Amino acid sequence: MTKLSLPSHSPLLTKNFVYGVATASFQIEGGIEHRLPCIWDTFCDTPNKIADNSNGHVACDHYNQWHNDIELIDSLGVDAYRLSISWPRVMTLSGELNPEGVKFYTNILDELNKRNIKAFVTLYHWDLPQHLEDKGGWLNRDTAYEFARYVKLISQAFGERVFSYATLNEPFCSAFLGYEVGIHAPGLIGKQYGKKAAHHLLLAHGLAMDVLKHTSPNTQNGIVLNFTPCYPLTQSPEDINAASYADDYLNQWYMKPIMDGQYPDIIKQLPSNQQPEIHPGDMDIISQSIDYLGINFYTRQVYKAHPSEIYEPLAPQGPLTDMGWEIYPQSFTDLLVTLNNTYTLPPVYITENGAAMPDTIKNGEVNDADRVNYYNSHLNAVHNATVQGVNIIGYFAWSLMDNFEWAEGYLKRFGIVYVDYKTQQRTIKASGQAYKHLIQSRK
């Protein structure tokens, strides 16, 4: 497949549906000599944590290539660019703004505005300053208040340049992958850590929302959550219960407090040492209204019952991406419709969707038909959800370009633009061309 095709009447083919591309600071910027160390620098320096033993010292050299990269974004015809702010780049050790870091981002935001590209700014995409981790990181309640202080200062500095703020990107990954199973920075392992970190992240979100309502009332302010729908292996009560528990533990744990002001009922089943430390008023702070919900989706997971662990994830079957993730677009529609039936949702942006594929560049071209197929099936899954009443107002491809894929290093490529890391040359893949043509075809 070389093109993306939607039903002619699709809401996704109207001009007011927002199309964008997304990146994250640590994954593309490099330029580490111009910022404070972050937890991912430390994690990359720890043996056997990154698959190819790489780091973010240079990455895509976006710190130096940013102007060319914005020209590249503009050439794709997108309406919006989702980027993240490196907290350790814009703040000093003493908790004041770093003018050099602020200027880096205001230059980018000004250039985007000049080109009429909406700036969707994520305020935290996992790169916690190391000096805050040294004080406990997200296990320390104070970090939530440090985050709110940073958000106040940076949002004041950016002024009217930003179209939309997301407080956090995927707090599940920060809390569960970073503080419970240890495959992301800071690499802590223990069930006694995960839910404590999660609560402080959600508190940080709520505190930041309160700040943004005062400092940036004209922007769309919300949060980005990732969802991996949980399916039972069989229709046995045990497997259904296992999938339901996994969904509450991994997905709804981050959604329900924001939407309903409470954690899922399974909180009552957690031992006391695994409980979050909830202070009076916390849930009110966490559950204040958001202007939009950002949803990141890649794959689903099938579960069966486990005698001691409650749920057991099964190895994915069927067609897989280069990450080993099952390609199952129906679960994207199922997820969106189920969330819409469960909660009173604000408008929804799909803030990340995409696939790592084993790309090769031949004669200056990357013919990633497998990725085009992925995008086609998943854009149609979004269309199917809108037909069933879900208010989805935009879609961001992950990612603009190949980049540092966290624990996988540079081995996995998610971009619709190919990056040669030796030369930093960018090459738009077939998927990037297909995305551009879809965007241009809107009425």
Count of Cβ atoms closer than 10 Å to residue 367 Cβ:
16
For 9, left (φ over 0), alpha (ψ -120 to 50), or beta? alpha
Residue 333 lies in a domain: yes
Residue 140 lies in a domain: yes
Catalytic residues: 170, 352
Residue 361 lies in a domain: yes
> Domain residues for 214?
11-440
Stretch 210-230: mean pLDDT: 99
Q: What is the mean pLDDT of the chain?
A: 98
With vertex at residue 318, the alpha carbon angle to CA 438 and CA 178, rounded to the nearest 5 degrees, is 80
Residue 3 lies in a domain: no
CATH number at residue 112: 3.20.20.80
Question: Does the global pTM surpass 0.95?
Answer: yes
Cα–Cα distance, 440 to 3 (Å, whole number) = 12
pLDDT value of position 111: 99
The bridge status of strand 417-420 relative to strand 230-232 is unpaired
Contact at 8 Å (CB) between 6 and 383? Answer: yes
pLDDT value of position 402: 99
**Considering its fold, how many domains does the chain have in total?**
1
Residue 4 lies in a domain: no
pLDDT at 443 over 90: no
pLDDT at 1 over 80: no
pLDDT value of position 84: 99
Cα distances (Å, whole numbers) of residue 39 to 26, 45, 148, 338, 367: 10, 10, 19, 35, 36
pLDDT value of position 406: 99
Contact at 8 Å (CB) between 178 and 186? Answer: yes
Cis peptide before 186 (omega within 30 of 0): yes
Residue 183 lies in a domain: yes
Nearest by Cα to 123 from 263, 257, 24, 243 = 24
Length of the chain: 443
pLDDT tens-digit readout, 31-53: 999 999 999 999 999 999 999 99
Residue 108 lies in a domain: yes
pLDDT at 2 over 90: no
Residue 58 lies in a domain: yes
